[in-house]
Amino acid sequence: MHQSDIKTNKNLTILSIESSCDDTACALVRYDGTVLAEQIYSQKEHIQFGGVVPEIAARAHLSHLSALVQKTLAQAQIDWKEIDAIAATCGPGLIGGVIVGSSFAKGLALAQNLPFIGINHIEAHALTVRIPNISPLQVNFPYLLFLTSGGHCQCINVTNIGEYQRLGGTIDDAAGEAFDKVAKMLGLSWPGGPALEALAKEGDENMFTLPRPLYGRPGCDFSFSGLKTAVANLLTDYETTDVLPRQFAADVAASFQKAITTAIINRLENAIKLAPNSTLLATAGGVAANQYLRKHLLALAEKYNLPFIAPPMKYCTDNAVMIGWAAIEILHQASKHHKLMNDISMLPRPRWPLSEMSQRFDV
């Protein structure tokens, strides 16, 4: 199907699917950013394991996707003839879940004779802040994005659709992974990030001095494994204890949250200097829902006279709305290049660098 067959200048409506980790999601998104309907199933199957089990995640996606699509269509009260294309995450992510979601979406596209658009999960996060009405700010290019989640931690200079310059990233654990693992050390329930943030409110963030990895060094890479080990060392006196004293655990949580935030802000300060033309500082990803971190990101942006934008918390975590919006952005950009936009042959990928996104528009 040629790009001109897709009604980019009319009421373009995308059915989108996200299945890269442990959230099974479906949405209907219009060309103007209006969310006609959305459904999400946050998998509870992993709670007993204290983390995401890839095989269980893939099976859960397979079990719930069909019902979620039907509920989404019913919620929007539209039928297939009103849908212009189907989009789904094709990577990066847990490959089992990516295969399930993208294959299901391709099957729908073939059955309904609709084009399929394969979406890079990271690109979708990067473009979330451009969804109209998501904030009072109009987000123009270029802007600096801090992407932070359980699997990713990157500084990205977003210069256009398909044009992303990775300024720095994690060299070991992502921030969300560090939050979850420290939370598990403290005996908190999964997912650990929100639980740790809540506990930290009861603690003294200055009680323990923890390392700020890479603080003061050039560049904007991140490293959190040493910080995680430092927290483990604080707990050695309680190795035979089933339950930590609550105040002690709260002080550790608060001290950890301060240390990781301080390190992040220092690395982002370097990123701002590496992207001097940025119109604003944006954040996205699950950890961007952390209010303590958001407060310090806002202060950093104000220090450099930059507007700051973060999506609503429900769009920080994995969701299908960002997948649909990314498809809309890509379709409009592709129309300028007169490109074919049926990605039905696209293979799911566990890794998919943003540097490859511009290839969509190569003439």
Beta bridge partners of 89: 119
149 is in an annotated binding site: yes
197 is in an annotated binding site: yes
205 is in an annotated binding site: no
End-to-end, the C-alpha distance of the chain in Å comes to 17
342 is in an annotated binding site: no
148 is in an annotated binding site: yes
167 is in an annotated binding site: no
| Residue 70 to residue 182: CA distance in whole angstroms | 39
Q: Name the DSSP class of 109.
A: H
Q: How far is CA 24 from CA 62, 66, 140, 202, 257, in A?
A: 9, 10, 30, 33, 29
147 is in an annotated binding site: yes
32 is in an annotated binding site: no
Task: Compute how many other C-beta atoms are within 10 angstroms of the C-beta atom of residue 262.
Answer: 15
| Residue 85: CA count within 13 A, CB half-sphere | 34
Contact present, 134 and 203 (Cβ < 8 Å): no
| Residue 75 to residue 62: CA distance in whole angstroms | 21
| Residue 30 to residue 23: CA distance in whole angstroms | 22
In single-letter form, the type of residue at position 166 comes to R
Nearest to 33 by CA among 13, 19, 47: 13
DSSP 64-103: HHHHHHHHHHHHHT--GGG--EEEEEEESS-HHHHHHHHH
290 is in an annotated binding site: yes
121 is in an annotated binding site: yes
Contact present, 315 and 172 (Cβ < 8 Å): no
| Residue 221 to residue 113: CA distance in whole angstroms | 44
Which residue ranges are tagged as binding site? 121, 125, 147-151, 180, 193, 197, 290, 318
Which residue ranges are tagged as binding site for substrate? 147-151, 180, 193, 197, 290
Which residue ranges are tagged as binding site for Fe cation? 121, 125, 318
